[in-house]
Structure 1
Amino acid sequence: QALEQEIEHLDGILYIDHLESQEKLFEIIQEEEE
């Protein structure tokens, strides 16, 4: 899968291009370490 993903990058295809909807994306917010 990793190799396929890298080959797709060379073809200009991004992971998000395979999503049915961008509504399924969510942001992960990391807490800062003190």
Structure 2
Amino acid sequence: QAAVVEIRRLQTQIAAIEAERADEKETDVTT
């Protein structure tokens, strides 16, 4: 299903953005 693939891609992008935001505040906050 293409929808599932799109959702996984979005979740991956969101995770990357969350990690970048966490790095800006404090390093090694998310594990």
State the TM-score bracket (shorter-chain normalisation).
Answer: 0.3 to 0.5
TM-score by length of 2: 0.40
Greater share of helix: 2
